[in-house]
Amino acid sequence: MDTEAQPTERDRSSSPSDAEEISDTGGPEGRSRLSLVSWAAEWLPGGRITLSLLVFLMFLLLLSNFVLQPFQIPSGSMERGLRIGDRVLVNKLAYRFGAEPRRGDVVVFDGTGYFGDADYIKRVVGVGGDHVVCCDKEGRIEVNGRSVDESTFLYPGDSPSTVPFDVVVPQGTLFVLGDHRSDSSDSRDHLGSPGGGMIPVDDVIGRADWIVWPVGHFTRIHGPGAYARVPSVPEAKPPRAVGAHG
């Protein structure tokens, strides 16, 4: 019995020249792209090395404009977590596609018209609809009636605030504070200004996610759990008891 594998109809009709012709389908476009690359490499000083460098720089530019952008920390307003000279990577997609800033996030925003003509980095303490008060009987900030223990990230020795305030954050805005409260210009300093010290969400550039320099300080910036128990709407306080008279 003949057990030798018989060539299929496709095998019999194929030839090396046919295979080459099939793989070359759409060839003019491919050859055009290769010709363009070759022309650019010949035209540029340094040839393909220069071309590769330009492509890489263009990639970095697109990345910086639309995805990640590095920022340098200019002051001590976010110590102890962020030190002067630290470089942070800001995620510019964090609040796209329907996502919103959350309490505890460290954000970079454009302060033009509110804080000054510069970019600022602060921590979100209140979001739209929140009732933020300083302070409770123990000196802690209250958000929606819930006291927040900020001791894990505040600058050592700082109180939550030496400036009393009682604000309701308008929708579409944020109430922001620096972690080094005694050395931070933030929402508290602009309570009497137009906008009441609130930052429009639309002016937020992104969320600071990583400290990338210096190498010894490389770490991910986590949102603290201190705000996790804050209710999304202000808690109704129980009515004050009225003594009965006999």
Q: What residues are annotated to the active site?
A: 77
| Separation CA 130–CA 139 (nearest Å) | 19
C-alpha 12: how far from chain center: 60
For the chain, the helix, strand and coil percentages under 3-state DSSP, each to the nearest 5: 25, 25, 50
| Separation CA 103–CA 155 (nearest Å) | 18
| Best CA proximity match to 128, nearest among 189, 175, 191 | 175
Which neighbouring-strand residues pair with 182?
A: none
C-beta atoms surrounding 46 within 10 Å: 11
